[in-house]
């Protein structure tokens, strides 16, 4: 009986660890031109998972709020020039 509870705890912890690892090291990028979504692997962990940037945002970078600039910087770090096609 106790052995079954231990196995259940181990499975639950394993699923939680895998889910967190998946969340921190993968992401979804949405293409602004065709609205296609691409799954990719990040080069370092980040809590930010979904990346979608409009082209107009780059043109008015200085006029954006600090939070919006950080969002663009994260996009540039994780998506821009980091995607590889097979």
Domain residue spans in the chain?
2-78
Query: How many angstroms separate the CA atoms of 28 and 33, rounded?
Result: 15
pLDDT of 84 > 60? The answer is no
pTM, two decimals, is 0.60
Q: Which residue has the tokens 């709020």?
A: 65
pLDDT in tens, 19-59: 999 999 888 887 777 778 888 888 888 888 777 766 665 66
State the Cα–Cα distance between residues 53 and 62, nearest whole angstrom.
15
Backbone angles phi and psi of 21, in degrees to 5? -60, -45
* Strand (E) or helix (H) holding 5: helix 2-25
CA distance 48 to 23: 8
């Amino acid at each position: 009986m106790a052995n079954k509870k231990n196995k259940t705890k181990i499975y639950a912890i394993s699923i939680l660890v895998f889910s967190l690892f998946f969340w921190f090291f993968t992401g979804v990028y949405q293409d602004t031109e065709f609205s296609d979504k691409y799954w990719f692997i990040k080069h370092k962990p980040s809590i930010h998972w979904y990346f979608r940037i409009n082209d107009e945002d780059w043109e008015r970078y200085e006029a954006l709020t600090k939070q919006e600039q950080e969002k663009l910087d994260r996009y540039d770090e994780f998506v821009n020039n980091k995607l590889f096609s097979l």
